[in-house]
Amino acid sequence: MALAVAAVLAVGLGIAGVAIGRSIHHAAVCAEADGFGREQLDNARTIVAAGRDAGLSARDQTIAVMTALGESSLQNIDYGDWETDGVTNPDGSRTTSIGLFQQQDGWGSREQRLDPYTAATLFYRAMVEDVPEPERSETAPTEVAHRVQINRDPQHYAPYWPLAERIVAVLDDQTVVDTCL
């Protein structure tokens, strides 16, 4: 599966600028791979770029991609669990989660939570604050994500870790990006 992703990305990456407060370069994936569409892989690339821009490790970037996989399958959705399943917060109120990380109102404005770069930055800020180093690097990735997201199941994200590792490894491979310039 990783080879399929690498092969498609090696052939199908293009460089595009995205304005999110400032211009960043990210790979616009031009083909589908492993069941993920262009937008999903482009969202993963944006999550990785936000982590890199914040000076965070590849492991931290992978935790963020894993979290977005577990929350939204890397889709920037504008609705949450209340609308689809009637899920409520522990206090009984309706959830207001949206975006890649299914962030509720307390994370920021609707616009911020639906902007992939900003949503990732908000996630990273919370991760650094809620699980500081060196504790973060000694904690299981799913536990780190759980402490940031405060969901019901601390093991929810564990199945997404291997795929997140493969996605980040391919997207972080500058030689792949350089072949597409």
- Omega prior to 90 cis, within 30 of 0: no
Is the model's pLDDT at 13 over the cut of 90?
A: no
What's the mean per-residue pLDDT of the chain? 80
Of 40-49, 94-103, 172-181, minimum mean pLDDT range: 172-181
Residues of 79-106 as b/e, b for ≥16 C-beta within 10 angstroms?
ebbeeeeeeeeeeeeebbbbbbbbbbee
Q: What is the predicted pLDDT for the residue at 76?
A: 97
Q: Which amino acid is at 117?
A: Y
* Kind plus residue range of the DSSP H or E element containing 144: helix 141-149
Q: Which two tokens stand for residue 159?
A: 């199945």
* Closest to 139 (Cα-Cα) out of 85, 50, 59: 59
Q: What is the predicted pLDDT for the residue at 85?
A: 73
Give the predicted TM-score (pTM) of the model: 0.77
How far apart CA 72 and CA 76 sit, in angstroms, is 7
Q: What is the predicted pLDDT for the residue at 145?
A: 98
Q: Which amino acid is at 46?
A: T
pLDDT tens digit sequence for 32-45: 456 788 899 999 99
pLDDT tens digit sequence for 122-172: 999 999 999 999 999 999 999 999 999 998 899 999 999 999 999 998 886
